[in-house]
Structure 1
Amino acid sequence: MTTAAPFQERYLLAPDMIADPYGRLDALREHAPVHWSPMHHAWLVTGYDQVMRCLRDPAVSADRVRPLMDAVPQGAREDAERAFGILSRWMVFNDPPQHRRLRQVFQEAFAARAVARYRAFTEKATRAVLARKAVPGRTGDLMADVAKPLPALVFARWLGIPRTDAAAFWYWNARVADLVLGTAQEESEYRASLQALVSLEDYLAGLVARRRAEPADDLISQVLAEGRVGDSVTEEEFVGMLTQMAFAGGETTSNLIANTVLALHTRPAQLAAVREDPGLAQGAVEETLRLDGPSKMSIRTTVRDLELDGHTLRAGDRIFLVTAAANRDPARFPDPGRFDVRRTGATHLGFGFGAHFCIGAALARLVAVAAVGTLVRDHPGLTLTDPGALTWQPSLLNRSLTALPVRY
């Protein structure tokens, strides 16, 4: 009689886990959907129901400012005080009722009906970007050519960033992403990221002042006109949250576009289905969010003891909510490893759930569906030039290609 080999955990930032984490995550979920990892000093929660329980339970906190601060090298700490004060005003790092108070300021502006006003602009911007970059017969990097500049164009228009300021604005955003996503490693990188966050806040504070004096057709003007700034939130809190909006506006959507194009062009039958029925571009984006989305996990902390799946999570324990595994849970999704643009049924967790459901989901979907639908419809000759040699950014949180080489 043979016995099964003991389960062996893998470091989540090991090269093979960055390249393709899903087989190992499936094995971890099957072994134990709630697993204490000495390697990561955290609970790894990989089952769908267990992740949902954590997302709903007030014992699980979204506050990550202290762990981010603890990761900063000692030599850069003197630069950190103001920057982490800004992060503390991000609603994504706050729990109810503070989170609810902050989020309500943007609720109307982010509603699907409000975002739909930008559909015509988004479709026009998509055609313009593709006309410049996706010239038939040309080779290029779809990440650099389309997936990154298109969300940047739409988001800058929506937020009201003048074109003359766009270069500095997106530079600051990239450096802030290095800090928040954990890709900053050296002391000099941390210093650059901390300074970028401060510069971004200074810039947005100035833009808010300008919009108070001269309202325009943009997010800042809309929220100011609603009268909540200075009432339910302070102007400092509003500007701090705008830095979060600025950071989140491009990264997730860029990765969602690229990952969806990759998913379709490695599955000819699914690509053909979207070509036959362009309305299925929406289904392709949703299935990418489930199967290989731009976010692999979110990090939480217990604020008091919590019983979960027969385990006691102690107050102060760190939790990795691995949505990349939960979204492939066979208890929730039939044939979970299959990419199906016509899939219906259970709700995926690609944008989170509950109080912390991504407030920008409607805008991200609008831009991604426009990009994917136009590429499939208007660029039937698009092919991946070297799908076997793709590489991914080393990140615990994000699922992001370094490049996506194509022939248009």
Structure 2
Amino acid sequence: MTTRAPAPVLPERYLLSPDMIADPYDHLDALREQAPVHWSPLHHAWLVTGYEQVMSCLRDPAVSADRVRPLMDAVPQGAREDAERAFGILSRWMVFNDPPRHRRLRRVFQEAFAARAVARYRAFTEKATRAVLARKAVPGSTGDLMAGVAKPLPALVFARWLGIPPTDGPSFWYWNTRVADLVLGTAQEESEYRASLQALVSLEDYLGALVARRRAEPGDDLISQVLREGRVGDSVSEEEFVGMLTQMAFAGGETTSNLIANTVLALLTRPDRLAAVRAEPELAQGAVEETLRLDGPSKMSIRTAARDLDLDGRTLRAGDRIFLVTAAANRDPARFPDPGRFDVRRSGATHLGFGFGAHFCIGAALARLVAVAAVRTLVCDHPGLTLADPGGLAWQPSLLNRSLTALPVHY
């Protein structure tokens, strides 16, 4: 029988309740202070909220990233017949694999995602940023920054990087949106699950055909670069490669869109930090990093105990579900001085906004490139930028992601 931690004095709170979706941080801070490793009967999971405890889990091979089975278990019975191929695709995602397979899969993309390789897209990113803002952020106008800027800009850059022809963009990004509903747990109805499962299959079919096209007609894009390196068919199969491309397609746009919007919101609600970035545009990098730490696009990652382990005096049993709540760990005062302060000049301790170790986000350099370009240009070139409806902001009901439904602003 699993040894559970004694319940803390703090009452249980459902992490998907409207008030917790709006602002989970006071509760998570209190939970971290009282019980940084806590068994939650409400969530049927261990909530790990302390920085050192989360780091321990990220380093421990007994803490497994394989969670395809729980995702499949959530699918309504009526949609199960559509699920077999879709979950086979998910099983090839690096994020759902442990070493040594994770290491083998990741190595295929290592060179393409290195900072020096990503830097080649700086000029294109800055050009795309100016083009999007010229259309969607006209000075004196009012609009939804999330829909008008934060979503289409990463889509443009990631499509260019993957080598997606512009004519294929609408279908490609529709499939990505539906896949996000599945992976992030926002699909609820059977029809939504069916649409998400079919979208993942369609996305793999499309990317498989694109790989075949790039073999015949190489270009200046990620797929062509990896094919030139000769590892597809050698260290990984073509099926594994295409499966991993579906992860790349899904992950890049979603994370970067939320990072842009959350950073702009953080600055617009802190006039002194906004003024600092406008006075020293290079501080846009610091603003993006502080957002990753303080209110980033990811609230947690889900793991499973592969075998029994001890953590902070608690016994976790094989099969137990573990929520690594990086949103709480990144505010741990034992690691970050004055952790609630949004400090665009902060240095020192490493935040966990992109994970750590073997599962550190492979696309972090590209996400940072796009987010910094967008934030710097928005706040420096739009001196009238303000929130249009400060009291009307709402967040997507997701356990994993921190994503605004909209960000109305005056440009």
TM-score range, shorter chain: over 0.9
Question: What corresponds to 1:297 in structure 2?
Answer: 300
Q: Distance in 2 between matches of 1:90 and 1:256?
A: 22
RMSD in angstroms over aligned alpha carbons? 0.6
| Alignment equivalent of 2:309, drawn from 297, 306, 309 | 306
Q: Which ranges of 4 or more aligned residues in structure 1 deviate by more than 3 Å?
A: none
Tell me by how many angstroms 1:391 deviates: 0.2
> Which one-letter code corresponds to 2:198 in the other structure?
Q
Tell me by how many angstroms 1:151 deviates: 0.1
Tell me by how many angstroms 1:407 deviates: 0.5
Question: What corresponds to 1:246 in structure 2?
Answer: 249
Give secondary structure in 2 for the equivalent of 1:179: helix
Q: How does 1:92-241 map to 2 (within 5 A)?
A: 92-241=95-244
Give secondary structure in 1 for the equivalent of 2:195: helix
Q: How does 1:370-385 map to 2 (within 5 A)?
A: 370-385=373-388
| Alignment equivalent of 1:80, drawn from 63, 80, 83 | 83
Give secondary structure in 1 for the equivalent of 2:149: helix
Question: What corresponds to 1:25 in structure 2?
Answer: 28
Structure 1 residues not aligned, in runs of 5+: none
Contact 1:291/1:324 (8 A) holds in 2:
yes
Q: Distance in 2 between matches of 1:136 and 1:275?
A: 17
Q: Distance in 2 between matches of 1:276 and 1:109?
A: 34
Q: How does 1:307-346 map to 2 (within 5 A)?
A: 307-346=310-349
Cα deviation per residue 1:208-252 (whole Å; 9 max; x = unaligned)?
A: 000000000000000000000000000000000000000012000
Question: What corresponds to 1:360 in structure 2?
Answer: 363
Q: Distance in 2 between matches of 1:190 and 1:327?
A: 33
Q: Distance in 2 between matches of 1:122 and 1:372?
A: 12
Structure 2 residues not aligned, in runs of 5+: 1-7
Which has the higher mean CA deviation after the structures are superposed, 361-370 or 372-381? 372-381
Q: Distance in 2 between matches of 1:139 and 1:27?
A: 38
| Alignment equivalent of 2:268, drawn from 265, 268, 275 | 265
Which has the higher mean CA deviation after the structures are superposed, 119-128 or 378-387? 378-387
Tell me by how many angstroms 1:386 deviates: 1.1
Give secondary structure in 2 for the equivalent of 1:13: coil
Question: What corresponds to 1:66 in structure 2?
Answer: 69
Q: Distance in 2 between matches of 1:7 and 1:97?
A: 40
> Which one-letter code corresponds to 2:189 in the other structure?
E
Q: Distance in 2 between matches of 1:247 and 1:330?
A: 33
Question: What corresponds to 1:6 in structure 2?
Answer: 9
Tell me by how many angstroms 1:377 deviates: 1.2
Question: What corresponds to 1:90 in structure 2?
Answer: 93
Q: Distance in 2 between matches of 1:83 and 1:54?
A: 28
Q: Distance in 2 between matches of 1:6 and 1:207?
A: 55
Question: What corresponds to 1:255 in structure 2?
Answer: 258
> Which one-letter code corresponds to 1:236 in the other structure?
E
In the alignment of these two chains, the number of paired residues is: 404
Contact 1:291/1:337 (8 A) holds in 2:
yes
Question: What corresponds to 1:36 in structure 2?
Answer: 39
Q: Distance in 1 between matches of 2:214 and 2:322?
A: 40
Contact 1:46/1:325 (8 A) holds in 2:
yes
Question: What corresponds to 2:3 in structure 1?
Answer: none
Give secondary structure in 2 for the equivalent of 1:183: coil
Contact 1:9/1:28 (8 A) holds in 2:
no
Cα deviation per residue 1:43-66 (whole Å; 9 max; x = unaligned)?
A: 000000000000000000000100
> Which one-letter code corresponds to 1:318 in the other structure?
R
Q: Distance in 2 between matches of 1:268 and 1:112?
A: 32
Identity across the alignment (%): 90
| Alignment equivalent of 1:400, drawn from 395, 403, 406 | 403
Give secondary structure in 2 for the equivalent of 1:319: strand
Tell me by how many angstroms 1:6 deviates: 3.0
Tell me by how many angstroms 1:376 deviates: 1.3
> Which one-letter code corresponds to 1:96 in the other structure?
P
Q: Distance in 2 between matches of 1:280 and 1:308?
A: 38
Tell me by how many angstroms 1:184 deviates: 0.4
Tell me by how many angstroms 1:9 deviates: 1.6
Cα deviation per residue 1:14-51 (whole Å; 9 max; x = unaligned)?
A: 11000000000001101100000000000000000000
